[in-house]
Amino acid sequence: MTKIKLYRCLGVVCMALVFTACKTPEIAEKKVNKAVPASFNSQDSTKTNSADLNWKDYFTDPYLTALIDTALVNNQELNITMQEIRIAKNEVSARKGEYLPFVNIGGAAGVEKAARYTFQGSNEAETEIKPGKETPEPLPDFMVGAFATWEVDIWHKLRNARKAAVARYLGTINGKNFMVTNLIAEIANSYYELLALDNQLAIVKRNIEIQSNALEIVKLQKQSARVTELAVRRFQAQVLNTRSLQYNIQQRIIETENEINFLVGRYPKHIERDHEIFVDMVPTMVQAGVPSQLLENRPDVKQAEFELAAAKIDISVAKANFYPSLGISAGLGLQAFNPVYLVNPKSILANLAGDMVGPLINKRAIRATYQNANAKQIQAVYNYQKTLLNAYIEVANQLSNISNLQNSYDLKAQEVDALTQSITISNDLFKSARADYMEVLLTQRDALESKFDLIETKMQQMHATVNIYRALGGGWN
């Protein structure tokens, strides 16, 4: 009868735990919107996408591909991220281990002397191990055995925690892919900037030679009283200014080389390159595909998607804290006051117990954790939509940039041709006293600036081809 009452009491307690646990706070989860426009910049699109190209097929300069190959092995930031992936993978293993039984094996030894006038001491004094042989005092204790504990995952809290860890692990992989994409783009942009600086340096050196020759002519004209000392000084100042510009460009070349060396993961050294091919480079024709392909091609979008999935699962994990947990513990071993008796079957020790514990009063901490999980899920939704929107805008901007840069380059090229011809014309007019020296100086300055602008525009064109490839999600596959 007593057992029946005990079982009834346990049943009532369990029902109370389940009933009170079911009263979880009402929280509305935010749904994610994955809809994107049908095309970029209202242009007709096909599913052909340059992001599907391997970076070795997209970048054909052998010096550039060699740099990228080295960076993918030696870049420190990338290697740090690889360790983060390992940490996330180990976290998955840790979460998996939590819903499996924990089994430990061990042993213990000790000695105890109970007070004579206590319940335990009086029992030991009256107990004989064998007829005529009293219990030892003090009483040694030796034990060896295996012990197991297991939290039964009845609400899938532990399994969901593992699923969340898996989602975050996949997110770190895509984070690494996004870093690879950015690393390749950064090296390519720096490489093209280096080629542009080389060409600007070559232009400056040619202009120094032209201006030096003009200075000598002006000096001769001063001797024949055709010009004054002022003209000589102005031509001399222009030569000095251009020489100063040469050293400025040389410093920028060194800094750009070292930027590339840092990305490649090595100490400063000369970057092998062929700058003469830069002017004749033709920007790669890019196929943008359709915007929906960004969901699969952009690693940062996929990373945000996995982070969102993990955040949703975290809500289920936090919700399970409102429900009672069921634990089972067991032990099997040998225990005796003398090691000799450990081999005796009577020394076998065994136990098996189960417990169910759940929150009943003061669930503020659990409720706060649950609400935080929901807030983080909403935060992850906004982060996903922001990442997707940013990806779309990046592609749209670069497509527009490519078109405008092409038009700008064509006009700049015409400007350079016109000013280059004007240098010869101004020099001839100056020699025949039909133009003053200021016209010659201004023409030379304008021609130099236009050539610099043309090289700068070419560099921006190459940067645009790199940036659109990165924006589409190319480089990591």
CATH number of the domain enclosing 347 = 2.20.200.10
pLDDT tens, 365-417? 889 989 999 999 999 999 999 999 999 999 999 999 998 999 998 998 898 88
- More confident site: 274 or 229: 274
Q: Which pLDDT score, from 0 to 100, does residue 7 have?
A: 47
Domain boundary among 341, 357, 373: 357
Residue 3 lies in a domain: no
Rounded Cα distance, 172 and 383, in Å: 16
133 and 174 within one domain: no
What mean pLDDT value characterizes the chain? 85
Element spanning 6, H or E: helix 2-21
Residue 5 lies in a domain: no
190 and 50 within one domain: yes
pLDDT at 225 over 90: no
Residue 2 lies in a domain: no
301 and 211 within one domain: yes
Q: Which pLDDT score, from 0 to 100, does residue 436 have?
A: 62
The tally of domains found in the chain comes to: 2
Instruction: Choose among 413, 414, 441: nearest CA to 426.
Output: 441
Domain boundary among 357, 374, 399: 357
Q: Are 21 and 324 in contact (CB under 8 A)?
A: yes
117 and 131 within one domain: yes
Most confident of the ranges 104-108, 310-314, 416-420: 310-314
Residue 461 lies in a domain: yes
446 and 344 within one domain: no
Q: Are 222 and 229 in contact (CB under 8 A)?
A: yes
139 and 242 within one domain: no
Residue 7 lies in a domain: no
Most confident of the ranges 205-219, 360-374, 439-453: 360-374
182 and 142 within one domain: no
pLDDT category at 1 given cuts 50, 70, 90 is: very low
Packing angle of the helix pair 62-74, 229-264 (nearest 10 deg):
50
Residue 388 lies in a domain: yes
Rounded Cα distance, 287 and 469, in Å: 9
Task: Reduce the secondary structure of 171-227 to three states and give it as a string.
Answer: HHHHHHHHHHHHHHHHHHHHHHHHHHHHHHHHHHHHHHHHHHHHHHHHHHHHHCCCC
> What would the mean pLDDT of 290-299 be, rounded to a whole number?
91
252 and 196 within one domain: yes
Residue 8 lies in a domain: no
pLDDT at 6 over 80: no
406 and 353 within one domain: no
462 and 341 within one domain: no
Interacting residues of 341 by C-beta distance below 8 A, sequence separation 6+ = 347
CATH number of the domain enclosing 286 = 1.20.1600.10
Q: Which pLDDT score, from 0 to 100, does residue 42 have?
A: 64
Domain that holds residue 134: 102-152+327-357
Most confident of the ranges 22-36, 232-246, 254-268: 254-268
Residue 157 lies in a domain: no
380 and 239 within one domain: yes
> What would the mean pLDDT of 309-336 be, rounded to a whole number?
90
116 and 48 within one domain: no
